[in-house]
Amino acid sequence: MDKRYTERLEINKILSAAAGYASLKQGSRIVEALEPSSDIEEVKERLEMTAECDRLLFKDGFGKVYEFGDVEEPVSRAIKGSALSCGEILEVARLIASAREAARGTERLEGIPHVRALTANLFYDHNLELDIAAKIQSQDSLFDTASDKLYSIRSKIRSLNERIRSTLSEYITGSYAEYLQDPIVTIRNDRYVIPVKAENRGKVKGFVHDRSKSGATYFIEPEYVLELNNELITLVSDEKAEVEAILKDLSKRIGKIGGKLLNDIVILAKFDANLALAEYSYTIRGVQPRINQRGYVNIIQGRHPLIDKNKVVPVSLEIGAKYSFLLLSGANTGGKTVTLKMVGLFCLMACCGLFIPAAYGSEIAVFQDVFCDIGDSQSIEESLSTFSSHMTHVVDICNMASSSSLVLLDELGGGTNPDEGQAIAKAVVKKLLSCGSCGIITTHFTPLKEFAYNTEGIENASMEFDPSTLMPLYSIKIGLPGASNALAICKRLGLDDAILEDAVNFLSDEGRDFENMARQMEEVRVESEKVLAENQKIRLELEQKRDEVNKGIEKLNKEREAIARNARSETKRIVSEKTEEAKELLDEIEEIFKQEVVTEADLIKARTIKNKLETVDADVHEEIPRQTDYRPATKENIKPGSKVYIEKFDCTAQVLSMRRNGEVEVQFGGVKTFVKLSDLKVADSGPAQKPQDVKIVKKFGRQQPVLEINVIGLNVEEALQEVNNFIDRAVLDNLEEVKIIHGVGTGKLRNSIQNSLRHDRRVKSFRDGVYGEGEKGVTFATLK
């Protein structure tokens, strides 16, 4: 793509901002040098790579590439056999560490094929990295332990330094102290010396190494330490030789893998550049757009990334489907040019691998070329007026545009006579339509707006404007041209009314009619949208009230089910207790009549037990409520105020009114609703049936309690019902823990059963099975 046009859309500023997120100078340079691709496969690969890097940074917690310096030149010298300095070797170690972290950090992650294909080629020598860390202390020094020999030499140097200082201290504190200028030991020419007064220099035997500028002090090396200093210099020379040997050895090892390290630099720079693109995309709240090659652009809630995110107003638009070009009109400062630049910039960003700051679902086309002519193009150097320079670009665009081009023209035909300008604009639009291009053109020309109404392939659009405040709304309305509102804006800015009145009189009839029509259409549209918004608000409120009523009905149903469930459990408990009591009494009677001789006392005791059995039977009938018998409701047997039974809700209600369509208005639990007459029943007024006696059957030997249940093969609803009944029986049998076998499967049945147990008042706790018990295929429940 031609840089003359892409830089006018400011893609270079976007890339410069993204480059600031790179860790490496090499990565930063790659980002700044990026050029938009016109190959759809390459664009897709770039965006997928950015998506993978986004996942690494913000989901997998990978972090950024470890920083290292420019080591290409030192590594190249090491390959040729040169010895590197401590600082250069440390930078190489950082390179190796960076390669190691990038390779290890991505090798086991799934869903990042492009990243793994890149980092799989990284090489690192961890042993060399560790050796460098163990031997090199700083930019200009080695650790004493870098080698045994270096440790020995430095130990001797330290010991010898102490001996020399100890010897010289005798001069400072002994009989020679009066000859010294200062009681100190210093160094001259790498040898230890003492400062002697000039008049006393003959009294201290030794070698003079230096004197002060004033000549008052001589720096003398006493003859007693001369040999010690010589030995020290020898050791220092040995130390230097050993350091050079260690650095040369490390440099040699670096040189052997130098080619792979240079390749690492290239890979890490690319990886760092892609991470920078992902981080910048995240910062601008960008999303990965869909990509096509058919010229279709659909931007949803797009925000220009170079405008303050707290001030930018999202814009949505679409081109390339029903129409190829949008003719964008409306008032000045309404956002036409920003919108035009945003569309072109989004296309370039996506082609560079950057996400776009828009809503999910946005789609961008990959164009072969992106052309634009935006703003004042006056050229003093080339002696071109605004119109001439503007038309020079338009001519080039018309000559180069094709079916795979995006064309963005700001104020086409402006800067010259309006009649000629609009005529040229129509001709240019016709040419661009004929060659199959797509894009956006901004204008204030009324004839061009009319042309768009009657020409296939181009659609009018307007930047919305509040007619009451005369302020732009920065949103696009497709299908309607926008009024320029130039006179209204001038009035708001303070132009004299007399001047405005003259300006209105100078307008042509056609221009005045069109602007008035556009303004009236805009006012009607704004008013209709207000009405629509009010209607939607009312609809939402009604839906909210309906939801509240439905929630109330649902709550009542749950309460009813809970009451019924508790009643069943209580009934079973009562029957179980009375049955046990009756069984014990029967056992006592049986024991009496097993005796060979039954006395009068035994008979009295048996009659007493029989009376207790009758009491138990009466208690059972008293404590188990009898269900009411109902019959179908008809228009004849109910009226307002009647009590009815609603079968589908399993509750009683009061009749409020009857309707002709066969529905009945009823009220229950504070809720009013309409139900069908066929869903109602009334209590049977006939003679009450005598409740059946509860028969107590004596069984010799107690039935063994059931400790587990298997619900494999049942659906969720069936399984929950079976588990509920099973827990009822377990509670009656006073069991402490039961086992529910549900299998592993998809986990849906297990989750549903455990969720039911979590809210069951009869259950104290529950757990999965452990190894040997069935693990995730069973659940153990502890009962209260």
Q: In this predicted structure, what is the pLDDT of residue 493?
A: 64
185, 168 in Cβ contact below 8 A? Answer: yes
**Band (474; pLDDT cuts 50, 70, 90):** low
Three state DSSP letters for 465-524: EECCCCEEEEEEEECCCCCCCHHHHHHHCCCCHHHHHHHHHHCCHHHHHHHHHHHHHHHH
Give the tens place of pLDDT for each residue, 635-688. Answer: 888 888 888 888 766 677 888 888 877 788 888 766 677 888 888 888 765 443
Q: In this predicted structure, what is the pLDDT of residue 688?
A: 38
Rounded-to-integer distance, Cα 318 and Cα 363, Å: 9
**Band (146; pLDDT cuts 50, 70, 90):** very high
Closest CA to 242 of 147, 155, 129, 159: 147
Q: At residue 152, what are phi and psi to the nearest 5 degrees?
A: -65, -45
More confident residue, 187 or 126: 126
DSSP state of 132: H
| 301: three-class secondary structure by DSSP | strand
Sign of CA dihedral 118, 121, 126, 128: negative
Inter-CA distances, 83 with 129, 144, 245, 264, 611, Å: 17, 20, 9, 21, 114
Residues of the chain with pLDDT > 90: what percent?
36
Q: How much is the average pLDDT of 305-315?
A: 85
Closest CA to 258 of 81, 100, 67, 27: 81
420, 427 in Cβ contact below 8 A? Answer: no
Give the tens place of pLDDT for each residue, 622-644. Answer: 444 444 567 888 888 888 888 88
Of 65-69, 399-403, 406-410, 491-495, the least confident: 491-495
669, 681 in Cβ contact below 8 A? Answer: no
Q: In this predicted structure, what is the pLDDT of residue 624?
A: 44
Of 80-94, 128-142, 423-437, 486-500, the least confident: 486-500
Rounded-to-integer distance, Cα 195 and Cα 201, Å: 9
DSSP string, 318-351: EESSS-SEEEEE--TTSSHHHHHHHHHHHHHHHH
Residue carrying structure tokens 């409740």: 691
CA atoms within 13 A of residue 762's CA, in its CB half-sphere: 22
Inter-CA distances, 34 with 13, 45, 352, 355, Å: 12, 14, 7, 15
Give the tens place of pLDDT for each residue, 223-245. Answer: 777 888 888 889 989 999 999 99
DSSP string, 687-699: PPPPPPPPP----
Distance of CA 761 to the CA centre of its chain: 40
The residues near 772 (Cβ < 8 Å, ≥ 6 apart) are none
pTM over 0.75: no
| 64: three-class secondary structure by DSSP | coil
Give the tens place of pLDDT for each residue, 254-293. Answer: 999 999 999 999 999 999 999 999 999 999 999 999 999 9
pLDDT at 301 over 60: yes
